[in-house]
Structure formats: C-alpha cells, structure tokens
C-alpha cells in the first residue's frame, strides 16, 4: 500500500479484471492448472467452478488421481458444461462413467468426447443429451435404447472403432436433422449401409461394407472414402439413377488400382457427381503390386462422362507405385476435364524415377483443357 491507502503497483490486478475476461483466461489453461488457481487466494478459490469446458487430459497411468479429480470437479462445478472430454484408461472406471454421464445429463453438454482404451458399453443416459452438437466416440459400443430418436441438435459426429447395429446407426443419421459432418473409421462391418441425412454436408467413411448407398442427401458436398481392404465383389454402386449434384470434393484413400471392382466403384461415383471440382486419390500398394499390374482396366471399363468432368479443376494423387492403370486413369481425366487447372502427383523418393517418367508421359496426353499445370513431388 502507498501512504494514501491505495493499492501498490505490485498489487493483485488480475483479480480485479471483469468476470467474463477472467473466465476466458481460465478457459485457456489446462483443466488441472485452472483448478490449481484456487490456492492463489480466497478470491480465486471458486473462480474455476463455472468453467464451461472440462477436458481431462491427465497421464493415463494416474488412474486413482483421475477418478478422484473427476468426482471433485463435478461435485464443485456450477453452471453449464458446454464441453466434456475424457480418456478412460481402464475398465476399472466403467461403473463411475455411468455416474458422471448421469450428472452431465442436466448440464446442457454441447460437445462430448469419450475415448476408451478398453471397449465399453455406453451409459444409457448419454442418449438423453438433446443439446449435443458435437459427439466423438472411440472404442465403445453404441447401443441406443429402442425409443431413441436421434440427437435433435447434433451437427458433428466422429466415430472410431465403434461397434453398433447398422439399423441403430441409420436411425441416428436420419433422426438427427441438423447433422452436417459424419466421420466413421474402423467401425462395425456393414452388409448394407444406407446414408440418409437431409442436412449432411461432409461424409467420411473408412470402414468395411458390402453395400454403401446414398439416399436423400441433398446438401452433401464432400465424400471421403477409405477403400476397405476386404471389399468383396458384391460391393455395390450408389442407388441406381442417383445423381449427387452438390458434391464438390471426392477423396479416395487406400485405393488399389489393380482391383477392378474398386476402380469401377470410384468411376461410377465420379460419373454421378457432375459438379465435382476437386478429386483426391491416395493409392495403396501390396508388396505384390510392386510390378506392372497383370490385369489393368480395359479402355471400355475406364468410362468417364463429359458431364462429370466439366467443372473439375484439380486432381491430387499420392501414389505408392506407378502402373499402367494409374496412367490410363489420368489419360481419361485429361481427355474429359475441360476446366482442369492442376494435376499434382506425389510419390515416395524410392520410385522418383518412375514418377518423373509418368509426369513426362502425361504432358504428352491429349487434353481437353489447354492450361493444365503439372506438379510433381517426391
């Protein structure tokens, strides 16, 4: 204090900041650091309890500390919990998760992320979270009750290593009217998987299916498909006569060009997207593919339509090997894509000589667009 009774220049100025600003500062800290501010002074003891984001990112080996901390935080917390994120290190916490989810069901949670190191059956209370906008699940069983009618506010859905009955997931898609972004990686194997979501804009799928069909997706703009390694010959094309007018980006990962059925599916999907602007392909090569493809697609099998290529501006391809089928594919793209501006090819350094040769050959292909830029990287 100075002699006039005022606060010295070294006083606690942070505590006098507006409450909203203090909450923003606390929100930038990891959760355990925010809780530790309670020891600074009596003024700081309970400032963290209204924090709206609870992200438990403790060392996974400190299981007892994690359990104790979660109970402490939830019991003292006040107000809404907009975001809750938790990595569950072992099955010893499964019974506690039921309690935590029940508590959170009245907290208006909008963003929920649960990751399990051991597969867990989700608590039934989770399906009552009608304020959820973003849901991320990793390594668990998605088992909604019979009366489940989707999440009315859900916008983003991210599943990894999640198992469920196909029909229950289709109910989730069709009954979540605001759903815009769906990502599924290594989830349940599907026999027949139908995508129906009236507001869906981005769909990412890297799982296994014998049938993948699109229906009632009027706003879909981007499709990312990780081609399944054990895709059978019965893998079907989208619904007959279906045209995906709004698709701007098609992204195919792990495509094996030597698999005729896979490439046929890719071509069929391209032909159903007349307004595609960007095409991305990452190829995958088995060891046995490190030689020329023994069964390249014939020209009549490599069919593309002018309407599907008229808006295509860029092609990005990452190749694990360079075979005749890849060259034939790019030949057709150049022949049909009248608006094409760029072809970007990337290979590993080990096959740089083949990649450079491929690029030089492509430059001699007839092309519908006169101003194509060829870019190569290894």
Checking if the pLDDT of 327 tops 80, the result is yes
Query: pLDDT value at position 378?
Result: 82
Residue 156 pLDDT exceeds 90 = yes
pLDDT level of residue 288 (50, 70, 90 thresholds): very low
Distance CA 369, CA 358 (A): 19
* Helix residue ranges per DSSP H, the chain: 19-27, 31-36, 63-76, 94-104, 166-174, 260-271, 306-309, 324-336, 352-362
Tell me the per-residue pLDDT of 14-33, one tens digit each, with 9 for 90 and over: 555 555 656 665 555 556 56
The predicted structure's pLDDT at residue 5: 45
pLDDT bin (cut points 50, 70, 90) of residue 243 is confident
Task: Give the distance from CA 160 to its chain's centroid.
Answer: 9
Q: Is the pLDDT of residue 372 over 90?
A: yes
Q: Where are the domains of the chain?
A: 16-51, 180-285+300-377
Chain segment 114-126, per-residue pLDDT in tens? 998 888 889 889 9
pLDDT band (50, 70, 90) for residue 281:
very high
pLDDT value for 9 = 46
Contacts of 113 (CB under 8 A, 6+ apart): 83, 84, 85, 86, 134, 135, 136, 137
Q: What is the mean pLDDT of the chain?
A: 79
DSSP character for 79? S
Show the beta-strand stretches assigned E in the chain. 53-56, 83-88, 111-121, 134-141, 156-163, 181-185, 190-196, 202-206, 209-215, 222-226, 249-255, 278-283, 314-319, 342-347, 373-377
- Whether 7 shows a pLDDT value over 50: the answer reads no
- What is the DSSP-derived secondary structure letter of residue 236? B
pLDDT, residue 38, reads 54
Q: Give yes or no for residue 103 having a pLDDT over 60.
A: yes
Q: What is the pTM of this model?
A: 0.81
Give the residue from 110, 194, 206 showing the smallest Cα distance to 159: 206
Looking at residue 25, what is its pLDDT?
Answer: 58
Given this model, what pLDDT does residue 278 score?
Answer: 96
Q: Which residue has the higher pLDDT, 231 or 98?
A: 98
pLDDT value, residue 52: 72
Residue 213 has pLDDT above 70, yes or no: yes
Would the pLDDT of 301 be above 60? no
Q: Are 249 and 277 in contact (CB under 8 A)?
A: yes
Q: Could you give the percent of the chain with pLDDT greater than 70?
A: 75
In this predicted structure, what is the pLDDT of residue 64?
A: 57
Asked if residue 129 has pLDDT above 50, the reply is yes
């Amino acid at each position: 204090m100075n002699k006039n009774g005022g606060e010295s220049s070294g006083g606690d100025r942070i505590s006098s900041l507006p409450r909203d600003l203090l909450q923003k500062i606390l929100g930038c800290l990891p959760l355990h650091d925010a809780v530790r501010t309670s020891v600074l002074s009596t003024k700081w003891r309970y400032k963290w309890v209204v924090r709206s984001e609870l992200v438990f990112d403790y060392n996974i080996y400190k299981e007892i500390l994690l359990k104790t901390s979660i109970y402490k935080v939830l019991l003292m917390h006040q107000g809404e919990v907009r975001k809750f994120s938790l990595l569950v290190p072992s099955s010893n916490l499964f019974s506690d998760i039921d309690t935590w989810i029940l508590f959170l069901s009245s907290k208006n949670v909008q963003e929920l992320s649960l990751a399990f190191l051991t597969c867990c059956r989700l608590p039934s209370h989770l399906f009552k979270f009608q304020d959820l906008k973003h849901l991320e699940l990793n390594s668990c069983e998605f088992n909604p009750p019979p009366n489940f009618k989707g999440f009315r506010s859900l916008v983003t859905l991210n599943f990894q290593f999640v198992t469920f009955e196909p029909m229950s997931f289709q109910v989730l898609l069709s009954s979540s009217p605001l759903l815009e972004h769906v990502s599924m990686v290594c989830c349940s194997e599907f026999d027949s998987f139908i995508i129906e979501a009236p507001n869906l804009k981005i769909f990412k799928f890297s799982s296994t299916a014998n049938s993948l069909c699109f229906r009632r997706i009027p706003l879909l703009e981007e499709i990312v498909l990780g081609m399944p390694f054990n895709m059978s010959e019965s893998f079907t094309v989208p619904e007959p006569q279906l045209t995906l007018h709004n698709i701007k980006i098609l992204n195919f990962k792990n495509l094996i060009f030597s698999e005729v059925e896979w490439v046929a599916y890719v071509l069929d999907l391209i032909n159903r997207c007349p307004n595609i602007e960007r095409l991305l392909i990452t190829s995958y090569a088995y060891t046995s593919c490190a030689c020329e493809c023994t069964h390249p697609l014939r020209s009549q099998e490599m069919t593309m339509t002018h309407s599907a290529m008229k808006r295509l501006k860029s092609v990005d391809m990452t190749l694990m090997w360079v075979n005749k089928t890849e060259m034939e594919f790019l030949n057709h793209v150049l022949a049909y894509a009248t608006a094409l501006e760029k072809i970007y090819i990337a290979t590993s350094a080990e096959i740089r000589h083949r990649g450079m040769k491929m690029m030089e050959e492509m430059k001699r292909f007839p092309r519908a667009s006169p101003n194509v830029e060829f870019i190569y990287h290894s």
